[in-house]
Amino acid sequence: MHEGSTKKSKKRKRKMTQQQVADHLHISLVYYQKIEQGSRTGDFDIRKE
């Protein structure tokens, strides 16, 4: 599965906006959107805290 797709499905499951996820990861909204689109890869892991 594509990395962006995995992040999208986790985001949907938690009902978080892209901005909320980006804030949680301490990255910009634009960078997070590029990860979801597949034009960037993230070097981090989204884990339930």
Domain assignment of residue 23, yes or no: yes
Greatest alpha-carbon span in the chain: 27
Percent of the chain past pLDDT 90, that is, above it, reads 27
Look at the pTM and tell me if it is higher than 0.85: no
d(CA 12, CA 43): 21
Domain assignment of residue 15, yes or no: yes
Q: Which domain holds residue 10?
A: 3-37
Domain assignment of residue 45, yes or no: no
Which of 49, 27, 24 has its CA nearest to residue 40?
27
Domain assignment of residue 7, yes or no: yes
CB-CB contact of 36 with 8 (8 Å)? yes
Domain assignment of residue 42, yes or no: no
pLDDT of residue 19: 94
Domain assignment of residue 46, yes or no: no
- Top pLDDT among 49 and 19 is at 19
Domain assignment of residue 33, yes or no: yes
Sequence-ordered alpha helix ranges (H) in the chain: 3-14, 18-25, 29-37
Domain count for the chain = 1
Answer whether residue 29 shows pLDDT above 80.
yes
